Amino acid sequence: MLPVGKTAVGASFQIPYLRRPRIKLEVGFCSGKSRQRIASRVVRRLRSARLSSNDNGEQSRELDKVGGGEPPRWFSPLECSSRSSGSPRLLFLPGIDGDGFGLKLQHEKLGEIFDIWCLHIPLLDRTRFSDLVALVESTIRFEIEQAAARPTYLVGESFGASLALVVAAQNPDIDLILILANPASTINKSLLQSVVPLSDVVHRLMQAGPHVSWIPDTILWKLRMMDEMQIFLNFNLHSVKAQVLILTSGSDILVSHITECERLHSKLQHSDVRSFPGKSNPLFLDDTFDLVATIKRSCYYRRGATIDHVLDFLPPTSSEYKKTYEPFRWMDVALNPVMLSTVDERNVVWGLAGIPSDGPVLFVGNHMMLGMDLVPLISRFWFDGNILLRVMAHPFFFSRLKKGNLPDLSLFDWMRHYGGVPVTATNMYKLLSLKCHVLLYPGGISEVFHGKGDEYKLIWPSEPEFIRMAARFGAKIVPFGAIGEDDMVELILDYNDQMKIPALKTFIDGLTSEVVSLRNNSEDEMGGKQVFYYPVCVPKLPGRLYFLFGKPIPTEGRKDVLRDKERAGELYLEIQREIRKSIRYLKAKREKDPYRNILSRLAYMAFHGFHSQVPTFEI
């Protein structure tokens, strides 16, 4: 893509081909329309131009062409050629160094899901701020002509992050997704974060030849441009309508990152923040940071105008899964869940041997207080059964109607990374059609925030809609019972108690208004009554979690269930009976578990290892 404005007049630039002769294009005086036609031709040629980041040191110096008057240009790294069809475009806007290789450690993984172009700004380039913005804008609009339905990603760090915000503010009508690392949107708070990139600029200028006098001029030009961008943003930040994911990193000396990101988050309408306090700055050049995994966890990957939590889902790799699970490993130690499944008619066995390996499979069970059982449940399916459970969860885990007092969405990144989807009939239809293993809690929030005396009670809606959906695809329904978590806390003030206190009632009403209600439309009838509050509990000495998966119930060929509401209701009641039966079985059996108490389990693990499975009752 050609630069615009004065830098396009009489300028020349080269598109590097790895191990091929360079193609040089000359641009003379031309009108705006002619420039756009030339730009379109260049973009088409650029699609096959790939630059290896392994040679970025040599290539960056050659791209700079000190004294050659080379304008900014785009290049596409060689490692980014394996993308899937329909991948959205990702434009990387570099930091103050301008070399465009700031994503070099991320290229290979990013290249599998994005079509990546990186902007290179030569060291001695003096493209004006407005022209640099216009260059990015024209590239985006060209892409819209090619694929209007796909969003365009702008990824930037410090200087590049500010540039992305300016472009988004000037183009609120374009579908943009911004991923910004340590944005330098306030210069007096961002000078420290620019020290490392600036030192690289100085080093490259010194290597380029005896042009020491140009060094201060180059640095001052960059800082003046940063100042100009930041002045613009001070008055126009409210115009940004794009989705924005703000990433922070650095040591304590850069605490201004956190303050600045909080300020941006409060002013941007559609923004989320993720912090990486142990990572280096620049963040993208930290070899322990994984940008693709971050995009997955924060649910920021989509191929169309709106996110499709089923079709846009990117399954975690084994290493990603383990890394996401690491913070929850203590649950396996503290709760050491017992997993049982059923084969044949009533033959209960250890582990997940009775679970169908081929989908579609629909797991239906009871939820427990606070829903902490979900993490060990889905992790055991992954590690022991090599099964990715697609959890149907309340929209509360994915979005908010407004900012308020509910927990930050980042606390639930693990669920989205593991394949959780909002509970809707449409999403269930898609999952079952893809032959997935789907986990559904029909009681939903009503069971998670149950009242006093409702421990292990099924609080389900009256309509058996998931029965018909399962029958439509011939899915196997696996009813299961779970116990243990409700015994780990003593409920002091439940929903009914708190609603009698005016201040708490107002607080609860505020919480409920922050999320979408599942009972407002027929599509979401699978959810239970929506009640959001913070139950006042007293913790008890942790016991143990127990799960029993019943015999799979086939629905293939059950046209009676699909067409007859009464027969569907009968199967619905049968599933509930099976779940209650499993709960009674587990309650009776756990009384004979010599390691039900956490102290006895810890003593066992201290001797046999903390990754060992502690014995339990006999079947």
Name the one residue in this structure whose structure tokens are 């700079």. 64
pLDDT at position 208, please? 52
pLDDT at 152 over 80: yes
pLDDT at position 54, please? 52
Q: Identify which of 522, 282, 515, 506 has the alpha carbon closest to the alpha carbon of residue 412.
A: 515
Q: How far is CA 295 from CA 171, 422, 430, in A?
A: 23, 18, 22
Count the neighbouring beta carbons within 10 Å of the beta carbon of residue 506. 9
Q: Read off the pLDDT band of 466 (50, 70, 90).
A: very high
Mean pLDDT of the region 364-379: 90
Q: 592-602: buried (b, 16+ CB within 10 Å) or exposed (e) per residue?
A: ebebbebeebb
Mean pLDDT of the region 10-24: 30
pLDDT at position 19, please? 27
pLDDT at position 203, please? 55
List the helix and strand counts (H, then E) for the chain: 21, 21
Q: Identify which of 64, 19, 26, 21 has the alpha carbon closest to the alpha carbon of residue 42.
A: 26
Domain boundaries, the chain: 58-297, 320-608
Report helix, strand or coil for 373.
coil
Both tokens assigned to 355: 């679970």
pLDDT at position 474, please? 95
Q: Are 449 and 495 in contact (CB under 8 A)?
A: yes
Which backbone phi and psi does 614 adopt, to 5 degrees? -75, 135
Query: pTM to 2 decimals?
Result: 0.83
Least confident segment among 25-34, 39-48, 459-468: 25-34
Largest CA distance in the chain: 88
Q: Are 10 and 28 in contact (CB under 8 A)?
A: yes
* Per-residue pLDDT reduced to its tens digit, 248-290: 886 543 445 567 778 888 889 899 999 888 777 788 988 899 9
Q: Which CATH number fits domain 58-297: 3.40.50.2300, 3.40.50.1820, 3.20.20.70, 1.10.3720.10?
A: 3.40.50.1820
Q: Identify which of 385, 381, 379, 392 has the alpha carbon closest to the alpha carbon of residue 310.
A: 392
Report helix, strand or coil for 66.
coil
pLDDT at 488 over 50: yes
Q: Read off the pLDDT band of 2 (50, 70, 90).
A: very low
Report helix, strand or coil for 446.
helix
Q: Read off the pLDDT band of 213 (50, 70, 90).
A: low
**Residue that wins the pLDDT comparison between 278 and 417:** 417
pLDDT at 133 over 70: yes
pLDDT at position 350, please? 93
pLDDT at 9 over 90: no
Ramachandran quadrant class, 86 (left: phi over 0; alpha: psi -120 to 50; beta: rest): left
Peptide bond into 464 cis (omega under 30): no
Strand runs (DSSP E) across 94-225, as ranges?
A: 115-120, 152-157, 176-181
User: Which one of 257-266, 285-294, 527-536, 607-616 scores highest in mean pLDDT?
Assistant: 285-294
Mean pLDDT of the region 183-197: 50
pLDDT at position 137, please? 94
* Per-residue pLDDT reduced to its tens digit, 334-344: 889 999 999 98
Q: Identify which of 223, 206, 265 has the alpha carbon closest to the alpha carbon of residue 95.
A: 223
Q: Whole-angstrom Cα distance, residue 538 to residue 489? A: 5
